[in-house]
Amino acid sequence: MYECRTLIHTDTGLFGKFRMAQVYSMKNQRARFMEILGDKMDRRYITRNQFLTRGHLAPRVDFTLGALQRASFHYINTAPQWLRGNAGDWAALEDAVRRRAYRNGSRLVVYTGTYGVCTLADAHNEQQELFLNVDDNNNGVVPVPLYYYKLRNVVSETWIITNVIIQFWTEVKKYKDAGGNNPFQELAELDLHVLVLPHSNVDIKRIFR
């Protein structure tokens, strides 16, 4: 496998005047949190060990060719993700998908995306949606997702099985960060969001066995 070293994210002009490196910077995160949530509220949520990272939708290690691994570092392949989830349960889920495909000898087609907008309590204890930037009309852009999800198609010669895998497992109470993309909410609160997820003809199931 090609080994990528010291790859840097690039936006290649896809985001217009926005410079995504600046959007994801700690300085901007703190400024946006104070603007949305109130003065000094950034200190409640952003620490040295907890902040928003560039969460990969399609992870680098899913690809074998160097060109494809480098392509995964375009900002179009990222969304804001809390460090705790990025390096924790989401990384474990990505690894579990790869391990299961290898173990079963399966050919997979995997779609990854985000759903909803993460909210946090402001200085008045009211929930506010989080965006890392605004446009010229002061509309929020670069939303912090409520959930990351994977839709996994297991393909054989005669059939296709589709599973929706969401970063959420209510039965695993020991995973404090196993609820979507918000490490500050309790699992009971996140249950309410799961109830309003779009209905489909596929099963929402836990991948870990």
Q: Is 125 known as a binding-site position?
A: no
Q: Which residues are catalytic?
A: 56
User: Do residues 126 and 40 lie in contact, with contact meaning Cβ atoms separated by under 8 Å?
Assistant: no
CA 9 to CA 151: how far, in whole Å?
Answer: 25
User: Do residues 24 and 44 lie in contact, with contact meaning Cβ atoms separated by under 8 Å?
Assistant: no
Tokens of 20: 């995504």
User: Do residues 152 and 144 lie in contact, with contact meaning Cβ atoms separated by under 8 Å?
Assistant: no
Looking at the DSSP bridge assignments, the partners of residue 17 are none
Q: Under DSSP, is residue 44 helix (H, G, I), strand (E, B) or coil?
A: helix
User: Do residues 171 and 206 lie in contact, with contact meaning Cβ atoms separated by under 8 Å?
Assistant: yes
User: Do residues 163 and 152 lie in contact, with contact meaning Cβ atoms separated by under 8 Å?
Assistant: yes
**DSSP string over 192-208:** HHHTTSPP-SSEE----
CA 86 to CA 67: how far, in whole Å?
Answer: 23
The annotation places the binding site for Mg(2+) at 86
